[in-house]
Amino acid sequence: MDINFNKNEDYNKLLITDLRKRFAKVKLGGGQKRIDKHHAKGKMTARERIDYLLDKKKPCIEIATFAGDGMYEEHGGCPSGGVVIKIGYVSGKQCIVVANDATVKAGAWFPITGKKNLRAQEISIENRLPIIYLVDSAGVYLPMQDEIFPDKEHFGRIFRNNAVMSSMGITQIAAVMGSCVAGGAYLPIMSDEALIVDKTGSIFLAGSYLVKAAIGENIDNETLGGATTHCEISGVTDYKAKDDKDALDTIRRTMGRIGDFDKAGYNRTAPTRPIENEKDIYGILPKSRSDQYDMKEIIKRLVDDSEFDEYKKDYGKSIITCYARIDGWAVGIVANQRKVVKNKKGEMQFGGVIYSDSADKATRFIANCNQKKIPLVFLQDVTGFMVGSKSEHGGIIKDGAKMVNAVSNSVVPKFTIIIGNSYGAGNYAMCGKAYDPRLIVSWPSANLAVMSGTAAAKVLLQIEKASLLKKGEEITPEKEKELFNNIKERYDNQISPYYAASRIWTDGVIDPLDTRKWISLGVEAADHAPIEKPFNLGVIQV
């Protein structure tokens, strides 16, 4: 190992330590005091409920852990978006579980809460994956109701999705384990089966205080909408549980009776680990986002037996296209090569840049994977498409458009891992969030933006200087340096993987060593949903 490997390893391991510290903080939800109060009521927390429900010896992944990170500070924050979502197994059946975290503002819905819940339903719909709701919420967070209530992708879309999912035959089970009020009361009742926990669960369109104000009726919440009321009088719920564990045990038994699903038929053999040491990733991945490295060495540490068959190996070398297996699943990998390479004419090509020949190769490879029904994995470390007169005259826009077309119209499931840079149109061509990857995650080393912090700061600095000079201000070298540093710091914060994760532009920030698990669980989920339409590129300029 050389000195650079050791420096890279130390740096990337520090990023992993930071990731774990951030996760430990998020896991506390609204804080230990609120967790203690929750326990005092005889209730489990959202994470405790999910952990109890999921099969213990099966893998699971958490979606949008860092949703809301650094947002809504003026309202006290919204850790993890006030809701916990995991993909795992219940009684051997893969499913997605959504649990309100009542330690965060009593489980009230912030705008990011709605976005996160919609993401869970999107995953369920795309993959025909059973979904379980563990409800414990005070409803919409009223100080921000205008940002969560009326629009198409707001609170009401949840119930519209409930109805659509039901018509699609997607299993939905809901357990009311705390408050379930106002419009939120429709969610469990629009599910296939609904449970309610005695004495702690309640469902009503309006609570006792609002009933008193609206119609003058005096009634307590338990009589108004408790378990006895809804299981014995209204018939709104189907099962009464004595406590949280009893409700979760009932769900486990219900899931255990569900029949098998129609499979998409993605190819899988017995899984094997990579032969190369997976932890070497920390040393291979450079500290600086502008440094070069060989992406093939990363791929060797992600795929079974460290083996892959490279498609068009000696053509379009700034993108690697290859067939491999990840945890037994056959996949097609599209990855940005991050070292300087020579093209077929002997010309040098920069690492991380998409050239015309690379875009052409990727387009053909994506079409082949669709033809063979092989899921696609995109490994992003891309600065964008090549610019300049030579590229423009060579038709880079046309070739880039072909690649974007292929990604857009792909019918096999796509999975995106943002390893390093994810800039500009490169993000799009390499299956960014706008191109419907089934799952998209980043490593702690990732940067997501229109361009790098340094490049953007230089552009913004020129604009700032011009504005100040117009006002007659003198720009000294010291002043210029201060302006540059302030702009870059502001911009660097926005390109952080945590900034993206907080807004659910990605499904999370993960340890590189968890990449295989995410892809494997993602392909397994996708296998629930047979492909329903043929691959068609539409109109493209050849």
Q: What is the pLDDT of residues 33-63, one digit of tens each?
A: 999 999 999 999 999 999 999 999 999 999 9
**CA dist., res. 105 & res. 78, Å (int):** 8
Q: Are 414 and 430 in contact (CB under 8 A)?
A: no
Give, to the nearest 10 degrees, the angle between helix 111-127 and helix 515-526.
60
Instruction: Say how far apart CA 303 and CA 274 lie, in whole Å.
Output: 6
pLDDT of residue 41: 92
Single out the residue of 63, 26, 34 nearest to residue 438, CA to CA: 63
Residue of 328 and 384 predicted with greater confidence: 328
pLDDT at 2: 87
pLDDT reported for residue 182:
75
CB-based contacts of 372, cutoff 8 Å, min separation 6:
none
More confident residue, 455 or 196: 196
pLDDT at 345 over 60: yes
Q: CB-based contacts of 233: which residues, under 8 Å, 6+ apart?
A: none
Q: How confident is the model at residue 480 (pLDDT cuts 50, 70, 90)?
A: confident
Quote the pLDDT of residue 473.
Answer: 82
**Residue-wise pLDDT tens digits, 488-531:** 777 778 899 999 999 999 999 999 999 999 999 999 999 999 99
pLDDT tens, residue by residue, 15-24: 999 999 999 9
Distances (CA, A) of 79 to 24, 108, 434, 502: 11, 12, 25, 9
Least confident window among 309-318, 347-356, 414-423: 347-356
- What is d(CA 229, CA 246) in angstroms, rounded to the nearest whole number? 19
pLDDT digits (tens, 9 = 90+) for 347-366: 788 888 999 999 999 999 99
Region 20-29: what's the mean pLDDT?
96
pLDDT of 157 strictly over 80: yes
Task: Report pLDDT digits (tens) over 119-146.
Answer: 999 999 999 999 999 999 988 888 898 8
* pLDDT surpasses 70 at 393: no
Lowest mean pLDDT segment, chosen from 174-183, 253-262, 302-311, 507-516: 174-183
pLDDT of 183 over the 80 cut = no
As a whole number of Å, the CA-based R_g of the chain is 25
Lowest mean pLDDT among 310-314, 493-497, 536-540: 536-540
Q: Which residue has the tokens 């991050």?
A: 338
Share of the chain above pLDDT 70, in %: 99
| Mean pLDDT, all residues of the chain | 92
d(CA 301, CA 289): 20
Q: What is the mean pLDDT of residues 376-403?
A: 87
Pick the residue with more confidence: 188 or 300? 300
Per-residue confidence at 483, pLDDT binned at 50, 70, 90? confident
Q: Predicted confidence band at 1 (pLDDT cuts at 50, 70, 90)?
A: low
Q: How confident is the model at residue 332 (pLDDT cuts 50, 70, 90)?
A: very high
Residue 167 pLDDT level (bands cut at 50, 70, 90): very high
Strand partners, 310: 322
- Asked if 61 and 96 count as a contact pair (C-beta separation under 8 A), the reply is no
- Helical H runs in 98-137? 111-127
**Per-residue confidence (pLDDT) for residue 265, from 0 to 100:** 96
Q: With 70 as the cut, is the pLDDT of residue 542 above it?
A: no
| pLDDT at residue 453 is higher than 80 | no
pLDDT band at 463 (very low <50, low <70, confident <90, very high): confident
In percent, the amount of the chain with pLDDT more than 90 equals 72
